[in-house]
Structure 1
Amino acid sequence: MERKIMSLGRSSLVISLPKYWANLNELKRGDVVSLAVQRDRSLVVFPGAEKKREPREITLHVDPERMGSLIARKIIGCYLNGYSRMTILSEKVFSIPQRRAIRDIVRMLYMRIMESDAKSMHIQTLIDESKASPKTAIHRMHLIAHSMCRDALNSLKNRDVQLAKSVFSLDDDVDHFSFFLLRLLRNAARDPILANQLDIEPIDCMDHQTLVYRVEHAADHSANITKQIIMLDGSQQKIPNHLLTLMFTAGTEAVSLYDKAVDAFFSKDIAKSVEILEAQKKIEKLDREIATKAFMSKQKSALVICAICSIRESIAGVAECAADIGEIAINRAYKMTT
């Protein structure tokens, strides 16, 4: 619908509100509406005076026989959908595994247990979302994930178990960022005021959300590599040196592509993104070479063969993350601007 701008006095410009919209929101003469200027210079009109955003609350009823992991999954779902206060109620006393699962996920989501008794728990997030910076948080998340990938390969090359254990422990830090960013981006996608405060356009939330998933997957792949290193050390078995060198080469290429892809995402560098997609073919060739030499090797240990296959898949997975991010970067470069 369109409205013609009218002049009122010397400096005021006036437009009329649609009667249907006013009736729908039960507005009458003398009522107050709120206005918000968006990043694309459009104007959003809200019925009523501007109010402070109230924390969303929800009550979860827990079956006493439910596994703790299912309760944790429900809490994650509520958290990602913007609930800041949750009350968890059980007909009977929480079991020890249930209580442990709740405490673990509360810690993972940076929430706090405000009240607790035998049959109920009240948890709350204390983060002010409007003051967060999605881009800064994603950069920090990427720095951790990239260092994990790099150090995982070094621990593989040098058979450094202590470094592998250190890298594996960092996976939780990436998960912290992932949950927080997904909540932030989902909320911003449906709340234009929050998106404006976060300096992000609602349409960009989908691209950033996909980026967060891919960065998390890259970190998961590096954690899996270190897991195989730790497992092999525990069984006192080793990957043959010629395969180790080949996997390190492929892994280094994949991690380099991943780092370039994230940079291309923010810079919207099409040329770099195309290079990343083309370079993935080289890693696919190395992957086939690793597979061929692994099955032709004199190594007969099933444990070693399984570890090689798992590490192979993780290296290929990092390269796929890079390719996915590169494709998003190309799409973003052609986004229509207002």
Structure 2
Amino acid sequence: MAPWRRSVQETGGGSLSITLPKGWAKTQGIGKGSPMLIVNNEDGSLRLIPERGGKEKEVSCAIISNSPTLVRDVVGGYLLGFDIIRLESSEPFPGETVAEVRRAVRRLSGAEIVEELPRRIEIQVLLDPEVVAPEKVLRREGTLVESMVADASAALLSGDVRLAGSTAERDEEVDRQYFILVRMVRSAIRDPEITRRIGIHPLRLLDMRLVARFLESSGDEAAAIAGLVGEVGGLSEKTRNLLANLGNHALDLVRKSTSSFLSIDPSMSPHIFSLFKETRDLVQTIEGSLEDEDSASGMVVSKVIPRFERIAENSIDVAELTPSILVSASVSQK
């Protein structure tokens, strides 16, 4: 759409004013006396936002037809911020499909099946993006991933299958926190007033979305490590100590990179990058020690090592987001 051009007028008392485009004002329901918010952007431009505090929130509905991608479409509708997700089919839904939908909905925080008929299933999402604080969601996700990495490492060395199972179960809760944050970000993109009301800059919110994705990926890696518990046989004491050290490094990287991002503290970055280098060196040392292990155990350890590496790489990606936030903040204060 082409921009409108207006000339600035001077009113009484030295104030300056411009007129609003008539068509735009009509579309937005703006008339004489309508309250407007004027936001000063970091680049010096101004943003006009109609104040809609008195209007009821419109309920958005996604209608999804039965297909092989039905469950994936349900998750997509949730992430896109729809309030109601209605599933329809010309034939009764198979029992297996209904069960899959139920499992998917359980993974989506705030989502409930409110109607279940043979040819129609309606899901309602009662999650207000302005009620849940993004920082709390991200901190919760980070804490879950930390516990998963710690327990996956401990279970791997002890052969504790029960602890490994508990670790894998937490992966579903990590997904729930990730989905909440993605939904919040997309809702804020559709309605810029949300970021103003929750007091978070849109760029910061987008960075949170990235961090949540890195954490979710690290949770998947920890769950994969837990899945290999029981396959590792009698390792030498040297290799066991090296693996324990590798697990501790991965845990420290997750904890410190997440803390650095949430506290916007770049002073932690040098230590985090130094820790990452130590992790890389540890990986090389472990790979060299596998020649002394039996082939079966060595093969399992060779599957574990890349998982810890990816956790470390995800943590570095999180840490690298902190400096850019500070640059943005310093610009806004000028």
Under TM normalisation by the shorter chain, which class is it?
0.7 to 0.9
Matched AA of 2:177: F
* Partner in structure 2 of residue 96 of structure 1: 95
* Partner in structure 2 of residue 36 of structure 1: 37
Residue 322 in structure 1 maps to residue 323 in structure 2 = no
Matched AA of 2:219: A
* Partner in structure 2 of residue 17 of structure 1: 19
Give the Cα–Cα distance (whole angstroms) in 2 for the partners of residues 49 and 22 of structure 1.
Answer: 22
* Partner in structure 2 of residue 158 of structure 1: 158
Instruction: Give unpaired runs (5+ residues) of structure 2.
Output: 1-5
Give the structure-1-normalised TM-score: 0.86
Alpha-carbon deviations, 1:128-177, whole Å to 9, x = none?
22211001111111111111111222222322222221111111111111
1:282 maps to which of 271, 278, 288: 278
Q: CA deviation at 1:325?
A: 0.8
Alpha-carbon deviations, 1:217-275, whole Å to 9, x = none?
12112111111114x27xxx444443222111012012112211111112222231133
Give the Cα–Cα distance (whole angstroms) in 1 for the partners of residues 217 and 139 of structure 2.
Answer: 15
Instruction: Give unpaired runs (5+ residues) of structure 1.
Output: none
Give the Cα–Cα distance (whole angstroms) in 2 for the partners of residues 94 and 176 of structure 1.
Answer: 26
Give the structure-2-normalised TM-score: 0.87
2:292 maps to which of 289, 293, 297: 297
The alpha-carbon distance between structure 1 residues 29 and 83, as it changes in their structure 2 partners (threshold 3 A), is closer
* Partner in structure 1 of residue 305 of structure 2: 312
Secondary structure of 2:203's match? helix
Alpha-carbon deviations, 1:91-119, whole Å to 9, x = none?
21111221111111111113111111111
2:324 maps to which of 328, 331, 335: 331
Aligned-pair Cα RMSD in Å:
2.6
Work out whether residues 130 and 194 of structure 2, in 8 Å CA contact, stay in contact via their aligned partners in 1: yes
Further displaced range: 281-290 or 30-39: 30-39
> How many residues end up aligned between the 2 structures?
321
Secondary structure of 2:113's match? strand
Residue 6 in structure 1 maps to residue 22 in structure 2 = no
Give the Cα–Cα distance (whole angstroms) in 1 for the partners of residues 264 and 53 of structure 2.
Answer: 39
Give the Cα–Cα distance (whole angstroms) in 1 for the partners of residues 73 and 119 of structure 2.
Answer: 17
Give the Cα–Cα distance (whole angstroms) in 2 for the partners of residues 29 and 270 of structure 1.
Answer: 44
The alpha-carbon distance between structure 1 residues 45 and 238, as it changes in their structure 2 partners (threshold 3 A), is same
Secondary structure of 1:59's match? strand
Work out whether residues 276 and 326 of structure 1, in 8 Å CA contact, stay in contact via their aligned partners in 2: yes
Give the Cα–Cα distance (whole angstroms) in 2 for the partners of residues 24 and 242 of structure 1.
Answer: 71
Give the Cα–Cα distance (whole angstroms) in 2 for the partners of residues 48 and 279 of structure 1.
Answer: 49
Q: CA deviation at 1:3?
A: 4.1
Q: CA deviation at 1:311?
A: 1.4
Q: Identity rate of aligned residues, in percent?
A: 21
Give the Cα–Cα distance (whole angstroms) in 1 for the partners of residues 30 and 258 of structure 2.
Answer: 52
Further displaced range: 40-49 or 103-112: 40-49
Work out whether residues 236 and 293 of structure 2, in 8 Å CA contact, stay in contact via their aligned partners in 1: no
